[in-house]
Structures are given as C-alpha cells and as structure tokens.
Chains A and B, each alone.
Chain A
Amino acid sequence: MTRLSTLPLLAVALTVCLPGQVRAAADEAPAVVAPENLAELIAKAKSPGQKAFLTYCATCHQPNGKGVPGAFPPLAKSPWIKGDPERLIRMILNGLQGEIMVLDKPFNAQMPPQGQIMSDAEIATALTYVRSSWGNKEDAVDEKRVAELRKDASKRAEYWDAEELLALYPLPLPDDWPLRQVNYRFYKGSFKKLPDFDKMEPDAAGHLPGGKLTVDLGHAKDEYGVVLVAKLILPAENDYNFAMASDDGARLFVDGNLLIENDGIHPADHLLERRIVLPAGEHDLRVEYFEYKGHEQLFVGLKGKDIGRVDLTDWVFNVGKAKQVYPPIPLTATDGEAVIYRNFIEGANPRGIGVGYPGGVNQCWDADILNVAMIWRGDFMDASRHWNGRGQGFQPPMGDHVLKPAEGYPLAVLESNDTPWPAVKMAKLETAKDGAKATYEYLERDSAYRFKGYQLKGSERIPEFRYTYGDLEVFDRLEPAGGTTPGLSRALSIQGTKAPGDGILYLRAAAGESIQPVEGGFQVGKSFKVVADWPMALIRSVGKDRQELLVPISLAEGGAKLEFAYQWTD
C-alpha cells in the first residue's frame, strides 16, 4: 500500500454535493414492505396460494400486487390477469421478454422462468390468489392445466416473446369496448391506389372475434385490400376526434361519410385527424385499406370526453414514442465543472462518453472510434432511462442542434490523395447458437488504436482524452469556444514521429454533405463551420453527396498540434 496522500484526507461535510446530479428520487418508489415483513408475511400467509405468491412473486410484483413503476408491472386489475389463465401459466413456466403495456404503462424487463422452482400446485394456487385479489375477479386455476402445459414448457429453451404470447392469448377487451360486429372483406390485388371495393368480389370474408380492427388477416402479406366494417357504440353526443395512420392507403368512414383519407403508397409515418360531433348510440364504421408491398399497418383511434382515448386497432401508431415513463433526470454541468456520463448514448457506439460543459454545449466522445461522435446545444443528457429499471437501450442527447461533425476514425495514413478514408468495419460471425444457426455482427475496432482514458483538467474539470495510434500518442480536448457564436474548440495534440503505415498522416476534421472554404475556415453543409487556418487542407468528395475535410499532419518536429473549432451556423 502506498502513501495515503493520494486519497482525499480532508473530511467533507456529511452531505456531499453531487456535481452533475439531480437529487433523484430514492423516495419516489412506492411503499414496499420492509425485509422482516416479507419473511413475516410468508410465515403468516393465509392460504397456500398467498404463500406461493409471496415466496416467488412478491419480491418483484410486491405483496400488494401493485408492482414497481418502471420496473415490475402491477398485477392488481391488470388485463394480463384476465381471461384465459394459459397466458399466465405459460409465462410463468418459460419466462417473458419484450416490451409490454400494462394499464397504459410500458414495461420491459425479462421475467425469468419460474417453472423449475414452482410446482404445478404452487403455480395454480398462486395464480388463483392473484386472480382473486386486489379487485381481480377471475376463475380459479386448476393444477391439471399447469401440468399439461408443463409438458410443452420443457421443450422450450427460449423465453416467451410478449408479441408471440399475445398472439396466442390476446388481452381481453374492456367491458365498455365501443366496437361490435367487426367483419372484414379481403381482396387480392396489386393495388397502388384504393379501388372501388364495392364493385369487386372479395376473395375472403369473415368475422373478427377479437373485436379489434386489423389488416393482418393471415391471408397475404403483400398485394391485397381489406374492407373492415363494424358498429361503433358511442355513450353520449359529443365532439369525437378520429385519428388514422396507415401503410399503405386507407379511408375511414363513419355513417357513410368519408372522415379521413390517405390514399397511395406510403409509410405509416404520420397521423391524420378529424373532429366531428356525433350523437349517442350506434354508428356504422368502415375502413378501406390496401397494402402494396412491405409493411402492413393500420391505426384507427378515437378520443372523446366520455370515452377517453380508445385505440381501435391491434397496431398502435407511435407506441414507441410513448415509451418515456420515468420522470426525467437531467444531468447538468454545475459549479462551473463539466459533467461526464458514460453509458449507451444514441448516435455513438456503445463506448460513448458524454461531456456536458458549463455554458450549455455538449459532446459525446466515442471511445470505440476515438473521435467526437456528436456535439449539441442546450441540455446535456437525461439519465432516467439508464437509472431506472435495468437501464435498457440507448439514450439520445437531451438538447438540440445535434451535429456529427467528424465521422469515423480521426486519423489515417493515406498512400495517395485517392486512398479512401478507412471505414469503421463491422465483423460478422456465422455460428450456431444452441445448435441453431445464428449470425452476429459487431464492431471490429481498428487495432492500430488503443483508448487510454482521460484526464480532468483545470478548475472546470474538462476531460482531455488520450489514445495511441500506432506509436503516436494523441490527446484530444474539446471545450466551449467562447465568443458570441456557440461552438466547441478542439485541440488535438500528437506526440511521436512515426505514424503507422506508409504515406501521409491526415486528420479528418469534418465530414458533411458539402464543404466550402470560407473566410476563417470551412463551411460544412448549412449547419456548421470549421474555424481553422489550414491552407493545405484537402476537400474530397466521398461518393456523390458527401465531402470530407482532410488536414495533412507533419511529424517532423516530433509531433503536431492542431487547434480549431466547430461553430454552429444555424
């Protein structure tokens, strides 16, 4: 052990200041039982079902069945509990993964299989307990049904995928579901616009017992048309807002009147809306739809004062954008110091290192490719995705004016002016997983580069990143540019005399759709300018619509220093 002086010896106050952190939310979590209590509750359980539930399920779903927001879904009054218990039995036996919606809240954490630890009787009684507790009023579950499904379960090595399970056991519709008598007519045909379906003979027709609208009827994936008709029951006279999105064309009619039309071939990328007043009672709803090729998607929704929002289709437009359930945890540079956030940042490779500088400019430095991946203005990062639940997925920057000023690796030795800039490569491995074929693609990092970390410099604790490129040692530091135009200055210091390879060492300082020399530097597209004095810089075209800005570097004096800046121009 070495001297203590390298460690903080000065005592600080009991409550420390947490730079860059918002005081989040230990106490936002719902009340859960104290440790002794769960053990005590198990000991005091009034029925075998309650005991099994408390023993195997309650650590996550909580003894009161309310779950933990953002982590474990509630069981109390959940539609997932209702109807055919096989949905639940199968999920318990083999586990469940994938995003699910429970009582309008998304959840996405694997539920591990419990089939190897819970007996048939325990699963049946626990489910019976869950299905008759906290307002749930469903039938008891028979042990024999568990035993039967267990025979299938042992053959399954994978978790159930949520979509797969719901296709087998759709969630029951609410009691006040507004559609009745949902029927369809199916037409084969290579339509590029909606035809007059009434003049055509359907190739198939039928009833949709699930009660929801869908265009995925199982007859065809491409080149077909569908007419859906149903009775729409409205509880009161009111303003109703209808919404529709489709891939490809569709029309929505109510009582024979065309409300919304979006004909032609297109993705389901926007919502069309129409507000009308409708009386209480029964109305005729009709949707005409065609699918040319590719995705087949239809969304029809309805909003009204008495019915709230009702999604009438099995596919829901933009469900992805409704994902954010956690209160934001914005990270901010405080006390004049930069804040660092290492995590999965959207727009960078997995080794992204976010840096929020004092003054509202930010960057993400990508330790996979040793280069700045993004710069942006305004707020830095929202940590709520990664600091809740299991922290799944990539989180984009919180602010705006996001730029990717320099793509790929920063340095390269080029044999000639025509040698292309080395690409960031993906490696591919074809293999077998559990005896089945699988192909995995992953980033193949350039072995000439090694990331060496960073040092926090100055009173602002600004990180200076360090890496090696062959025998060269490189320091890369970005910081707020100062002045009236927002920007980041960048200092790249290279030490050493020998670059890896034969040719000229270049820095790729920028890449974009177009690069023009301008007063004091180079304009890149419309959005930013590289402020630099580089008479020797090379502007090259890459393919038809991209250009790159290359700066030759001489190592004759044992290294080089490049100082420049990225400045927003929009």
Chain B
Amino acid sequence: MAILAVAGLLAPFLAEGGEASQEDFYQLVSIPAPEGAVMEVSAIELLPGKKLAVADRRGDIYVVENAYGVPDQEPKFTLFASGLHEPLGLAWKDGWLYATQRPELTRMKDEDGDGRADIFETVNDQWSIKGDYHEYAWGSRHDKDGNIWVALCLTGSSSSQDPYRGWCVRITPEGEMIPTASGLRSPGGIGFDRKGEVFYTDNQGLWNGSSSLKHLKPGSFQGNPNGNIWFDLASPAWERPPDPPFTDDGSRIATERENIPNFVPPAVVLPHGKLGQSPTGIACVEADGKFGPFDGQLMVGEQTFSEVQRIFLEEVNGVYQGAAFPFLKGFKSGNIAVRFDDEAGVLFVGGSDRGWGARGGQRFNLERVDFTGQTPFEIQEMRARPDGFELVFTAPVDPKTAGDPASYGMEAWTYLYRKAYGSPEVDQATPKITGATVAEDGKSVRLVIEGLVKGHVHQLTANGVRSAKGLPVWHPVAYYTLNEIPGS
C-alpha cells in the first residue's frame, strides 16, 4: 500500500500526444478479504475513526481498519455481525449501524464492547417477501430528516406478487414505513446527490429500454406499472397513475410523460451495452478537489463491466437530467457497492459476480480508488442550453480544435417504452453542431446545435478536441439525456 503515498510523484507526466492511462490519474488498490472469507461485498459504510463497515451477500458485516493505504498498516477485519439476509445497504448514525436486509431494516449495536454486535433491533419490516431471490431490498443512508429509503425489486424482476415490490419506501426515525414512489423494476443501488435528493439505478428490462439513473421524487412513478397494484393498500397521498399502453410496439417515455402526471423520466440514461449493462451503487463526490475536479458529481457502480461511471446532473424545468461519462474500469469483480469518503477523497468499491456475470473475473472484490493528483483532460460538465450544450473541460482547451464544430460529433436516439424486455435504440437523429465557441475562461465551450430532440439521449463525441497542452480528451464521449430543453 505504501506505493500510493508516492504514486503522485511517480506518475509520469504525459508527454504531448501521449496516450492517457488510468493509472496516471486514478489507482485501484485491492483490499484483500480475510483469508478464507467469501466477502461478496454488498454494502460499504464509513465509521468514525477511519474505519469501514463492509457487508456481504452471505450476511456478514466486517469492520475494517487501515483501509486507507497508510504505509506499514495492513487492513484488519473484525467480524461485527453475521447471519443477516443478503444486506444491501449500510448506514451509521448515532452509535447504531443500520443494515437494510432482505426482510427488514435492522439496526445493530455492540452493547458489551467485545467488538461484535449483540443488539439487532428491527426498525421496520412492513414490506413483503415471499421467497424469491429477486426480492432485493436496497437501502440508502439516512437522508437529512433521518429517513432510510428502501428500493424494492419486483418479484422475479418482472411482476409484483406481494406488497410493495416495485416501490420505494421510506423508513422514518420512528420506524414507520412511508410508501414513497412506484414504478421501480430492478434496482441496483440507491444514494443521494449533493443536495440530498435521492436517486436509484434501475436495470434494463420490462418497461426499461435501457438501464438508467432515476430520481426518486416522492409521489413519482418511475415507469414500470406492475407494482401500481398496491395503491389501495399503500394509500399514499397521491393518485394511482394511469397505466401506460400495453401494446407490443410500445410508446416513448417523452410521450407518456404527457399522459401520466407523476411520471418522472430517467434522469440519466446509461445506454445499455455502450455504458455498461448493470448499474449499481451511487456515491456523490464532495472532496474539495481531492478526487479531481468532480465535486458534486455521482459515481455509479457497474457490475457486468466491472466499471464505475461518472454522472453530471442538473435540474431543468424542475426535472433532473444530465450526462453520463465512462470513467474507471478494470475492477476485479462485479461492482455493487460504492462509498465515497469526502474527507480523504477516496472512493471505496466492492462487489461480487455471484449469479450475475462480470468481466472482472474474481468472485468478489473490495477496492479503493486513489486520485494521483494528476487531473485527466476530460469533459467535466455538460449542460443543456436552449440551442445546444455548454461543456466545461477539466483543463484549458486548445482554442483552435475546441472552437471547431468539426471536432465534435452528435447522435441522438431514444428507446421504446413498452412491456417487453429492453428496447433497441429508436428514432435516431443526427443533430447538427453548427457552432463551437470557447469562452473567456479558456475551459468552457458553447456548442450551438440544430435539431436537439426532447426526450432523446444525445451522444456527444469530442474526438478532435485537444487541451491547451495538446492532449486528447481521456474519455471523449458523453451521453446526455435531454428530458427538458431549457427556455432561452
């Protein structure tokens, strides 16, 4: 681990035109599991004293010390609890460790001080399970009001055979359950943006043309109607949304938003196959630049491709939308949990490929991502404008290439919104980039575009852009989901 401390010094500075490699910017450091343990990481939480709590799919929770790569300090694992039912969320608050496990939200405490939990208090168990492996319950950390949000997968990821499958519920500090949103399919993680709004990832499948990051606005409908059958039981403060059309050909989300008042469209589509296949955990970066210039952005885990994607979010006309960028790759198993340490500026990532394949190749992983201090030349932000987009790069751009519309490319498409599994990309369009103006700050570029399509994913490529130092963009592609076009 000692290497890390000096990694920034050792990293070679990129020569002009040299090929960027991930190790120059971010280093993936494995934290090996205790010998003999099958630590299929399913949730990670930070504990006081620079320790981690790590849950795994077998139901164990470890406390990990020395996970930050301080020289001469090996990671130490203490088994804090065991026997839980596939926990998929951890949260630390006021001396209690909260775990969202399949049947319930539990909080734990070590009362006798032997390092192991002895009190397991059920905070709430009012959602149903019937014995299907797909009945996953993904739990958030506490929101600003002390609630834990739980995203409940559909039965078999397709129907809703017992109460609240396909719903998000909130568990209050008093232990009451509040049905909060319907229309979920198969979540893979849940977390907050920098304002404390709650988002989850939902996987491609029935009524989901592609995987995406979705905004869990209370009272919202997220697109899959199968869980709406519990409205009478849930009796929330809002009306059951009308059903979308059950036709083979399907509709479009942009169309059905007009018919279904509470329909909140996916904030950021992660185009299936192009940017992973199974999005998972969500972590917001807030590190005063200690993790590169990505404060306020979301890191989203990706199980199949063993990656982490980067998300820029903005709110336009009251609707969340934004851009997804490829970011980190080469993790050693199927990433499930991500947790960012704001203070240290490091990202913890863990997962497992059990039952769901992953490119990583190892059965499970726990890894830490360290920033080397060298900032990659990237598209840092991408904002919608009435007639195009505004890009902010992480470093001053070469005005000639960045100011040339020919350095960019754009394609747009959407997906069928229908009951069948997934969707091809449809309604392809080729918006035309007619102008590219570098701003005075030397880092921002205003793109003027003809033919933006509301509701479409807009794929921007920036292959021709160079930094002022002559470097190409490390990841010259972005996928912006244009739910709303801002007014001028």
Are A112 and B120 closer than 8 Å at their CB atoms? no
Q: Which residues of A lie under 8 Å from residue B37 when comparing CB positions?
A: 16, 18, 21
Residue of chain B at shortest CB distance from A7 = B47
Are B101 and A342 closer than 8 Å at their CB atoms? yes
Nearest CB on B from A387, distance (A): 6
Residue of chain A at shortest CB distance from B233 = A429
Interface residues of A in 1-23 (CB under 8 A from B): 1-21, 23
Q: Which residues of A lie under 8 Å from residue B86 when comparing CB positions?
A: 343, 391
Q: Which residues of B lie under 8 Å from residue A115 when comparing CB positions?
A: 421-422
A156→B418 CA distance, assembly (Å): 11
- Asked whether any CB of chain B lies closer than 8 Å to the CB of A566, the reply is no
- Asked whether any CB of chain A lies closer than 8 Å to the CB of B83, the reply is yes
**A12-B76, A16-B78, A32-B361 given; A2·B94 CB < 8 A:** yes
- Asked whether any CB of chain B lies closer than 8 Å to the CB of A46, the reply is no
Are B84 and A342 closer than 8 Å at their CB atoms? yes
Nearest CB on B from A430, distance (A): 9
Are A340 and B115 closer than 8 Å at their CB atoms? no
Q: Among B8-16, B125-133, B144-152, B466-474, which stretch is in contact with chain A?
A: B125-133
Are A2 and B95 closer than 8 Å at their CB atoms? yes
- Asked whether any CB of chain A lies closer than 8 Å to the CB of B18, the reply is no
Q: Which residues of B lie under 8 Å from residue A452 when comparing CB positions?
A: 121-122
Q: Among B212-220, B336-344, B351-359, B437-445, which stretch is in contact with chain A?
A: B351-359
A8→B112 CA distance, assembly (Å): 10
Interface residues of A in 84-142 (CB under 8 A from B): 94-95, 109-110, 112-113, 115-117
Q: Which residues of B lie under 8 Å from residue A21 when comparing CB positions?
A: 37, 58, 60, 82
Q: Among A208-216, A233-241, A264-272, A435-443, which stretch is in contact with chain B?
A: A435-443
Q: Choose from A35, A442, A461 the contact partner of B361 (Cβ within 8 Å).
A: A35
- Asked whether any CB of chain A lies closer than 8 Å to the CB of B178, the reply is no
Q: Choose from B47, B106, B125, B361 the contact partner of A34 (Cβ within 8 Å).
A: B361
Are B357 and A59 closer than 8 Å at their CB atoms? yes
Q: Which residues of B lie under 8 Å from residue A450 when comparing CB positions?
A: 122
Q: Choose from A9, A26, A38, A443 the contact partner of B363 (Cβ within 8 Å).
A: A26
Q: Choose from B59, B272, B358, B420 the contact partner of A117 (Cβ within 8 Å).
A: B272
- Asked whether any CB of chain B lies closer than 8 Å to the CB of A569, the reply is no
- Asked whether any CB of chain A lies closer than 8 Å to the CB of B229, the reply is yes
- Asked whether any CB of chain B lies closer than 8 Å to the CB of A392, the reply is yes
- Asked whether any CB of chain B lies closer than 8 Å to the CB of A167, the reply is no
- Asked whether any CB of chain B lies closer than 8 Å to the CB of A60, the reply is yes
Q: Which residues of A lie under 8 Å from residue B226 when comparing CB positions?
A: 433-434
Are A442 and B35 closer than 8 Å at their CB atoms? no
Q: Which residues of A lie under 8 Å from residue B106 when comparing CB positions?
A: 453
- Asked whether any CB of chain A lies closer than 8 Å to the CB of B318, the reply is no
Q: Choose from A14, A18, A39 the contact partner of B79 (Cβ within 8 Å).
A: A18
Tell me which of A10, A443, A456 has the highest count of chain B C-beta atoms within 10 A of its own C-beta.
A456
- Asked whether any CB of chain B lies closer than 8 Å to the CB of A561, the reply is no
Q: Which residues of B lie under 8 Å from residue A158 when comparing CB positions?
A: 158
A453→B276 CA distance, assembly (Å): 39
Q: Which residues of A lie under 8 Å from residue B362 when comparing CB positions?
A: 34-35
Q: Choose from B38, B92, B248 the contact partner of A26 (Cβ within 8 Å).
A: B38
Are B104 and A451 closer than 8 Å at their CB atoms? yes
Are A4 and B243 closer than 8 Å at their CB atoms? no
- Asked whether any CB of chain B lies closer than 8 Å to the CB of A421, the reply is no
Interface residues of B in 92-138 (CB under 8 A from A): 92, 94-95, 101-104, 106, 109-111, 113-122, 125, 128-134
- Asked whether any CB of chain A lies closer than 8 Å to the CB of B173, the reply is no
A393→B82 CA distance, assembly (Å): 21
Q: Mark A61-93, 1 if CB is under 8 A from B, else 0.
A: 100000010011000000000000000000000
Q: Which residues of A lie under 8 Å from residue B204 when comparing CB positions?
A: 112, 116
- Asked whether any CB of chain B lies closer than 8 Å to the CB of A564, the reply is no
Q: Which residues of A lie under 8 Å from residue B419 when comparing CB positions?
A: 157, 434-435
Residue of chain A at shortest CB distance from B46 = A1
Q: Which residues of B lie under 8 Å from residue A112 when comparing CB positions?
A: 204-205, 421
Are B103 and A455 closer than 8 Å at their CB atoms? no
- Asked whether any CB of chain A lies closer than 8 Å to the CB of B372, the reply is no
- Asked whether any CB of chain B lies closer than 8 Å to the CB of A390, the reply is yes
- Asked whether any CB of chain A lies closer than 8 Å to the CB of B330, the reply is yes
Are A39 and B83 closer than 8 Å at their CB atoms? no
Q: Choose from A10, A117, A340, A390 the contact partner of B422 (Cβ within 8 Å).
A: A117
- Asked whether any CB of chain A lies closer than 8 Å to the CB of B486, the reply is no
Residue of chain A at shortest CB distance from B303 = A59
Residue of chain B at shortest CB distance from A158 = B158
**A8-B63, A26-B38 given; A35·B332 CB < 8 A:** yes
- Asked whether any CB of chain B lies closer than 8 Å to the CB of A199, the reply is no
Residue of chain B at shortest CB distance from A29 = B363
Nearest CB on B from A258, distance (A): 45
Q: Choose from A16, A59, A95 the contact partner of B421 (Cβ within 8 Å).
A: A95
Interface residues of A in 28-66 (CB under 8 A from B): 29, 32-39, 56, 59-61
- Asked whether any CB of chain A lies closer than 8 Å to the CB of B74, the reply is yes
- Asked whether any CB of chain B lies closer than 8 Å to the CB of A493, the reply is no
A453→B118 CA distance, assembly (Å): 11
Residue of chain B at shortest CB distance from A456 = B118
Q: Which residues of A lie under 8 Å from residue B363 when comparing CB positions?
A: 26, 29
- Asked whether any CB of chain A lies closer than 8 Å to the CB of B475, the reply is no
Residue of chain B at shortest CB distance from A36 = B330
A391→B356 CA distance, assembly (Å): 11
Tell me which of A1, A18, A33, A159 has the highest count of chain B C-beta atoms within 10 A of its own C-beta.
A18
Q: Which residues of A lie under 8 Å from residue B265 when comparing CB positions?
A: none
Are B118 and A15 closer than 8 Å at their CB atoms? no
Are A14 and B77 closer than 8 Å at their CB atoms? yes
Are A35 and B331 closer than 8 Å at their CB atoms? yes
Are A59 and B304 closer than 8 Å at their CB atoms? yes
A60→B419 CA distance, assembly (Å): 26
- Asked whether any CB of chain A lies closer than 8 Å to the CB of B71, the reply is no
A394→B129 CA distance, assembly (Å): 13
Interface residues of B in 155-190 (CB under 8 A from A): 156-163
- Asked whether any CB of chain B lies closer than 8 Å to the CB of A431, the reply is yes
Are B354 and A388 closer than 8 Å at their CB atoms? yes
Nearest CB on A from B332, distance (A): 6
- Asked whether any CB of chain B lies closer than 8 Å to the CB of A389, the reply is yes
- Asked whether any CB of chain A lies closer than 8 Å to the CB of B273, the reply is yes
Q: Which residues of B lie under 8 Å from residue A456 when comparing CB positions?
A: 117-120
Nearest CB on B from A6, distance (A): 5
**A154-B248, A350-B131, A433-B159 given; A117·B273 CB < 8 A:** yes
- Asked whether any CB of chain A lies closer than 8 Å to the CB of B201, the reply is no
A455→B374 CA distance, assembly (Å): 49
Q: Mark A450-485, 1 if CB is under 8 A from B, else 0.
A: 111111110001010000000000000000000000
Residue of chain B at shortest CB distance from A13 = B76
Q: Choose from A8, A94, A433 the contact partner of B115 (Cβ within 8 Å).
A: A8
- Asked whether any CB of chain B lies closer than 8 Å to the CB of A367, the reply is yes
Are A455 and B229 closer than 8 Å at their CB atoms? no
**A6-B95, A35-B332, A35-B359 given; A14·B110 CB < 8 A:** no
A391→B354 CA distance, assembly (Å): 9
Q: Which residues of B lie under 8 Å from residue A95 when comparing CB positions?
A: 421
B residues touching A (Cβ–Cβ < 8 Å)?
34-38, 47-49, 51, 57-60, 62-63, 65, 74-80, 82-86, 92, 94-95, 101-104, 106, 109-111, 113-122, 125, 128-134, 156-163, 204-206, 209, 226, 229, 243, 246, 248-249, 272-273, 277, 304, 306, 329-332, 353-364, 419-424
**Between-chain CB contacts (< 8 Å), 27 pairs:** A2-B95, A6-B95, A7-B51, A8-B80, A12-B115, A15-B34, A15-B35, A16-B77, A20-B82, A20-B83, A21-B58, A34-B361, A39-B329, A115-B421, A116-B422, A155-B420, A339-B82, A341-B83, A351-B125, A387-B58, A391-B86, A391-B355, A393-B133, A435-B246, A440-B161, A442-B130, A443-B130
Give the 8 A-B CB pairs with smallest separation, nearest first: A8-B115, A340-B83, A60-B357, A435-B246, A390-B355, A116-B422, A59-B357, A442-B162
New A-B contacts (15) at CB < 8 Å, excluding given A16-B62, A389-B354:
A8-B110, A24-B38, A35-B331, A39-B329, A59-B304, A116-B421, A117-B273, A157-B419, A341-B83, A342-B59, A350-B131, A389-B355, A440-B159, A442-B130, A443-B128
